[in-house]
Structure 1
Amino acid sequence: MSNATLAAFTEPDRPKNLLIRFITVGGSYVDVTGPGEHSDENRWNCRGCGESSQLPEGDFLFCIRPDANSHAANCRAIPLR
């Protein structure tokens, strides 16, 4: 395996408020960040394609976990950094 291929699958630094990290089918990551389970200020963001949570509020962890996981299962964007 070349170094370029290895670099593409190197896990990026974890933000201090990271709650969950999903790996996408393209080898990138979807990070769920925020204060925690009982907060409506949690968000998910894809490090591959840049898509993120769509709700301006009401992002309780039990609500956005399935959306972040579904996005990771379908996103084919590869990590560029």
Structure 2
Amino acid sequence: MSTAARASAFTEPDRPKNLQIRYVTVGGAYLDVTGSGEHIQDNRWTCRGCKETSRAPETDWLFRIREAASAHASTCCAIPLT
């Protein structure tokens, strides 16, 4: 199995103003981590494939959600419909 990063077959959507991190899921969708940054509690992640999102944005400091967002991106097979 190749460990090389696979480029998405889909067009990258516009980047939100407050985008902190963007992942490409295994299904080819994009997952965005948005917010004000490391020490602000308004960070959240949203998958553009399956529409899943972080469940507690009031406690989602960037260092806490980075691992959850990455884990979701590595398993989500949904493709973007729009």
TM range (shorter): 0.7 to 0.9
Name the structure with the higher helix share.
1
% identical equivalent positions: 66
Q: Which runs of 5+ in 1 are unaligned?
A: 1-7
SS in 2 for 1:74: coil
Q: Which amino acid aligns with 2:81?
A: L
Q: 1:56 to 1:21 in 2, by over 3 A?
A: closer
Contact 2:22 2:32 (C-alpha < 8 Å) held by counterparts: yes
**Structure 1 stretches of 4+ moved >4 Å:** none
How many residues are paired up?
A: 74
SS in 2 for 1:57: helix
What's the TM-score, normalizing by structure 1?
Answer: 0.87
Query: Comparing both chains, which one has the higher relative contact order based on Cα–Cα distances under 8 Å and sequence gaps of 6 or more?
Result: 1
Q: Deviations over 1:46-65 (max 9, x none)?
A: 00000000114111100000
In 2: Cα distance, 1:64 partner to 1:70 partner:
10
Other-structure match for 2:23 = 22
SS in 1 for 2:58: coil
